[in-house]
Amino acid sequence: MTRFTTLAALALTATAGTAFAESHAATGNPMVGGAPMFADKTIVENAVNSADHTTLVAAVQAAGLVDTLSGDGPFTVFAPTNDAFAMISEDTLTALMQPEAKAQLATILTCHVVAANAMSDAIAGMIADDGGMHPVPTVGGCTLQAKMDGDDIILTDENGRAATVTIADVRQSNGVIHVIDRVLLPKQ
């Protein structure tokens, strides 16, 4: 390959990458973990591409929830980042990833899942309609409390642990992801 051909190929690749980014931006979906999120892919198909959600993906696999979260839904997933999981001790997290803790891990993860497609404006509306605090029942049997702090949605678990939605309204083919900064837990 000549130097000119190599430079032309690089220019074409850069142009295609720019067109891809512009095309993705036109969908209105935010980037998550440095990766585009596609509204025509499932929650699992998109999550595996996010560099910020490798621990969540590993936990979903260990809990046997891949097929569920790849299903029709609709689901709203409050998706903790790797930094959120890092707030849990390494020993505890390692223990939760073991086969004998599969049911406990599944319960924790499904306490981040709602059986509905709830965009942030709908959540904010429910919070306002309920006088500033809205109960959010989850698939895992937990009830989160949602409130607003300025423009931010704050979710509080049954133990008083609060998580902030840091990236909202990441559309998926089977629901929506809202990225959060803390792992929420069932009542302990």
Cβ atoms within 10 A of the Cβ of 77, count? 27
Q: What average pLDDT does the structure give for the chain?
A: 86
pLDDT at position 38, please?
86
Residue with tokens 């989160």, as numbered in its chain = 144
3-state helix, strand, coil split of the chain in percent (to 5) is 40, 25, 35
CATH class of residue range 31-180: mainly beta
Tens digits of per-residue pLDDT, 16-37?
333 334 334 455 788 898 888 8
pLDDT at position 3, please?
33
Instruction: Pull the structure tokens for residue 143.
Output: 């009830």
Instruction: Pull the structure tokens for residue 72.
Output: 């029709």
Tens digits of per-residue pLDDT, 55-77?
999 999 999 999 999 999 899 99
Tens digits of per-residue pLDDT, 114-126?
999 999 999 999 9
